Amino acid sequence: MQRTALLAALTLSAIGSTAVADELNLYSSRHYDTDERLYSDFEEQTGITINRIEGNADELIARMEAEGANSPADVLLTVDTSRLERAKNAGVLQATDSDVLEDRIPASLQDSDNQWFGFSQRGRIIFYDKNELTDPPQTYADLADPKYKGLVCIRSSSNTYNQTLLASIITNQGAEAAREWAAGVVENMARDPQGGDTDQLRGIVSGECDIAVSNTYYFARAIRTDVEGVSDSRDMIGWVFPNQDTTGAHMNLSGGGVAAHAPHPENAVKFLEYLTSESAQVYFSGGNDEYPVVPGVEISDSVKELGDFKADEVSLSDVAKNIPEAQKIFNEVGWK
């Protein structure tokens, strides 16, 4: 039986005092209804009951810090490399020794100290108005080209996806090149940053901007199902996987790790290993329009429609170390 977030306080205060062998306490900031299938399949396969607490990633990390050695958390799941690294730096994760995770997850998609692992990927790419642009940007650097002045919609500097993108540019090209790029993008913004990734796509439809930066799964979702303000007009939206002649398109992660004080560490490892199984990897793609991390796993039709591309294989563990520098650069160039 799964507990809801409304019962979280009572549930976890009770299980915190008595660890039950066939349970797993999951703290998750993934907010996708389709993940229910992931959890129920694991329970059916293993007989291990998942007690789930959902919330904002930063709040969950702070909660685990406050709970300290008494934390009932076994696993933390969250989205984006920046939050995974934040959890590691906060000391709420522990190193995990698993041949399954090492064999199935590429080294570039896991922490160098084995404290966090990616389980699904999203490309952060360029979208554009096909009716207005015949020469859309082909690289991230192009987003700073003065010829696109006043055309770009992109999220705020507080957005974790943008922080990780800039950190990847620092890793690949150095801080000075990253600073010049960020300053150029600010000059080219069609409006002050606002809203989520879907809102950037809606900006193209509304005519507020000709270019938008978004994660792939937001657009793939509009292919698979009805997304207001996008699906009905998606024929006008083109897309570019940037840097295909150099580093490849930047990828960010949804991932997780074993909690530092996990009362059920063996169950925690079993759960993480289950997330690399073919059935779970297929479901990440089919249920939430993401890319699997395990090579060779089939992707959903909505994701296939985006086409083949070259992904940046830079170590996201290295990228994560540059996230503080990325935030500093955003502040320096006035990226709101």
Report pLDDT for 14. Answer: 37
Task: Decide if 177 contacts 169 (C-beta within 8 A).
Answer: yes
- List every span in the chain annotated with CATH 3.40.190.10: 5-121+252-301, 123-249+316-333
Report pLDDT for 19. Answer: 56
Closest CA to 162 of 331, 332, 333, 326: 326
Residue 5 has pLDDT above 50, yes or no: no
Task: Encode pLDDT of 161-199 as tens digits.
Answer: 999 999 999 999 999 999 999 999 999 999 999 999 999
Query: Residue 85 contacts by C-beta under 8 Å, 6 or more apart in sequence?
Result: 111, 116, 320, 321, 323
Residue 96 has pLDDT above 60, yes or no: yes
Report pLDDT for 30. Answer: 85
β-bridge pairing 49-54 and 23-28: parallel
Report pLDDT for 17. Answer: 40
Please, which contacts does 289-292 make with residues 24 or more away whose CB atoms are closer than 8 Å?
289/216, 289/217, 289/220, 289/221, 289/223, 289/224, 290/120, 290/121, 290/122, 290/217, 290/254, 291/120, 291/121, 291/122, 291/123, 291/216, 291/251, 292/120, 292/121
- Percent of the chain exceeding pLDDT 70 equals 93
Task: Encode pLDDT of 309-327 as tens digits.
Answer: 999 999 999 999 999 999 9
Average pLDDT of the residues of the chain: 92
Task: Decide if 221 contacts 257 (C-beta within 8 A).
Answer: no
Distance CA 203, CA 152 (A): 9
- Percent of the chain exceeding pLDDT 90 equals 89
Helices (H), 68-114: 81-89, 99-104
Residue 10 has pLDDT above 60, yes or no: no
Q: What is the mean pLDDT of residues 100-125?
A: 96
Bridge partners for 53 per DSSP: 27
- CATH for 5-121+252-301 is 3.40.190.10
pLDDT band at 287 (very low <50, low <70, confident <90, very high): confident
Q: What is the mean pLDDT of residues 197-217?
A: 98
> Phi and psi of 211, rounded to 5°?
-135, 140
User: Looking at domain 123-249+316-333, which CATH architecture does it have?
Assistant: 3-Layer(aba) Sandwich (3.40)
Task: Decide if 220 contacts 291 (C-beta within 8 A).
Answer: no
Q: What is the mean pLDDT of residues 229-256?
A: 97
Task: Encode pLDDT of 15-46 as tens digits.
Answer: 444 456 799 999 999 876 677 888 999 999 99
pLDDT band at 3 (very low <50, low <70, confident <90, very high): very low
Query: Residue 200 contacts by C-beta under 8 Å, 6 or more apart in sequence?
Result: 127, 153, 154, 155, 209, 212, 213, 214
Distance CA 26, CA 31 (A): 13
Distance CA 291, CA 253 (A): 9
Q: What is the mean pLDDT of residues 145-155?
A: 98
Beta strands in 92-150 (DSSP E): 117-129
Distance CA 64, CA 73 (A): 7
pLDDT band at 113 (very low <50, low <70, confident <90, very high): very high
pLDDT band at 286 (very low <50, low <70, confident <90, very high): confident
